[in-house]
């Protein structure tokens, strides 16, 4: 048990993480700006069950240095889980400066406030996007990550580098977690699985980019959260770990699995590949297994069934 600050607490992954920490007896404070990347009312619904169970909430932006310092100095936090970020590769193409400000500078603000407050353990949520357009699969953490293909990916890589510097300068136990396409209940509404399910359900055409052979490593939210909690418990030096399922599913296969889970056929609006997208992602999770005891246990077909059950109960 401990006292933990979770930034981005009202988001998809953040709200699940907060609930898991409460289940394990931790005292949790959430920090969230409730920005308008998607409907803030959805985020408030995400976090409502945790607030009812005693999670404290601070509304504010991770770029607000005075606020973040006040939150961290006013509580004896054992660890920080920094999940707050501006998401999305495609939107970042039009708003590169914003992505840099939130994802890179915002991370630096939280890191430095944690250092000043004497926090010893820090977990940074990063992304498989930092691997760029590499076709050497599975992706390993020792890859150089020098060729991101979107401002989003570049901003997350910059955040990783800040985290590594702070770990080495200040002796913080920092773990960078590279998440691979998380999905499950509460998934953001613009992400492929949620968006595709909504369009298939209503009989509308779904955007089908490329020839269907692009592939992703889809990782169920419970597996992501289990790995994140394990990282919050670890001590030691700087570490980077992939959190994925360790398997690839093509876009065509994903649509077929969603059709099966929904019991409906998809209508496809075939479109060219999009700038900022990569053709393949796949995680080597050997290090996470060794360092965190990470054992992803939810195959995609099973995870999609759970997602559809939530979706049809009014998930938004």
* Positive/negative CA dihedral, 194, 195, 198, 199: negative
Answer yes or no: is 237 within a domain. yes
Task: Provide the domain count of the chain.
Answer: 1
Taking all residues of the chain, what is their mean pLDDT, rounded to a whole number?
Answer: 96
Structural domain for 236, as ranges: 3-183+218-246+282-296
Q: Is the Cβ–Cβ distance between 100 and 158 less than 8 Å?
A: yes
Q: Read off the CATH number of the domain in which 287 is found.
A: 3.40.50.720
Which range (132-141, 157-166, 199-208, 274-283) has the least confidence? 274-283
Answer yes or no: is 274 within a domain. no
Q: Is the Cβ–Cβ distance between 133 and 149 less than 8 Å?
A: yes
pLDDT for position 246 = 95
In this predicted model, what pLDDT tens digit does every residue of 167-212 receive, in sequence order? 999 999 999 999 999 999 999 999 999 999 999 999 999 999 999 9
pLDDT for position 74 = 83
In this predicted model, what pLDDT tens digit does every residue of 56-114 receive, in sequence order? 999 999 999 999 999 999 899 999 999 999 999 999 999 999 999 999 999 999 999 99
Residue 152 bears catalytic tag: yes
Identified catalytic residue from 99, 131, 152, 179: 152
Work out the average pLDDT over 46-55.
98
pTM here is 0.97
Answer yes or no: is 133 within a domain. yes
pLDDT for position 156 = 98
Report whether pLDDT(10) > 90: yes
pLDDT for position 315 = 79
Answer yes or no: is 207 within a domain. no
């Amino acid at each position: 048990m401990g006292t933990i600050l979770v930034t981005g607490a009202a988001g998809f992954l953040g709200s699940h993480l907060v609930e898991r920490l409460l289940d394990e007896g931790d005292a949790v404070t959430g920090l969230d700006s409730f920005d308008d990347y998607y409907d803030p009312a959805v985020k408030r619904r995400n976090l409502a069950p945790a607030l009812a169970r005693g999670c404290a909430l601070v509304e504010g932006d991770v770029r607000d240095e005075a606020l973040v310092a006040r939150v961290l100095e006013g509580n004896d936090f054992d660890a920080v889980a920094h999940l707050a970020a501006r998401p999305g590769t495609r939107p970042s193409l039009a708003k590169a400066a914003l992505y840099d400000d939130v994802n890179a500078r915002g991370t630096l603000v939280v890191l430095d406030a944690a250092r000043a407050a004497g926090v010893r353990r820090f977990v940074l949520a990063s992304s498989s996007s930092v691997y760029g357009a590499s076709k050497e699969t599975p992706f390993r953490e020792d890859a150089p990550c020098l060729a991101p293909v979107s401002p989003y990916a570049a901003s997350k890589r910059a955040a990783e580098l800040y985290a590594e510097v702070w770990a080495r300068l200040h002796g913080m136990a920092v773990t960078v977690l590279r998440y691979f396409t998380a999905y499950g209940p509460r998934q953001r509404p613009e992400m492929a699985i949620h968006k595709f399910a909504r369009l298939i359900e209503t009989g509308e055409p779904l955007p089908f980019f490329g020839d269907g052979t692009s592939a992703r490593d889809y990782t169920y939210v419970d597996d992501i959260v289990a790995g994140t909690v394990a990282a919050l418990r670890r001590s030691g030096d700087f570490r980077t770990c992939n959190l994925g399922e360790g398997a690839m599913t093509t876009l065509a296969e994903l649509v077929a699995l969603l059709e099966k889970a929904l019991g409906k056929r998809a209508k496809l609006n075939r479109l060219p590949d999009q700038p900022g997208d990569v053709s393949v992602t796949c995680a080597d999770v050997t290090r996470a297994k060794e360092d965190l005891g990470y054992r992803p246990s939810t195959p995609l077909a099973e995870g999609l069934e759970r997602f559809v059950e939530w979706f049809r109960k009014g998930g938004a």
